[in-house]
Amino acid sequence: MPTACWWAYPMNGPAALHGPARPEWTCVACGDPWPCRTRKRQLKDLCRCDVRLLRNYLTPYLRDARVELVDVDLAEITERFLGWCDRPLDRPSAGDPPGGDGGGAAPEGEAGGRPALPG
């Protein structure tokens, strides 16, 4: 089973453009709720569709978003950050804007200086 070394990617490049703008948690590149459709695609590629790895990667973001998005229901935040992980991306999750943002470059890292998760 292949493992993705997502923690080895630099915090710059095309993927960093689709990082979160905080505390509103919108994508800095397209303005959609983060993670946007492009970032989801990038993360699925980066994690090679390993749902557990993907959820482990997103959990610290989810924790921060739960604190910072005070006007959003916790169930909605959880769905937005983790609900899409085990579904094909052509099946929208509750947090996806209509139409999405169309696609993106291969992931190279995450904007915002998020620490690497231990394996």
Q: Is the pLDDT of residue 71 over 70?
A: yes
Strand partners, 21: 26
pLDDT in tens, 45-62: 888 879 999 999 999 999
Domain boundaries, the chain: 12-83
Confidence of residue 97 (pLDDT cuts 50, 70, 90): low
Whole-model pTM: value is 0.65
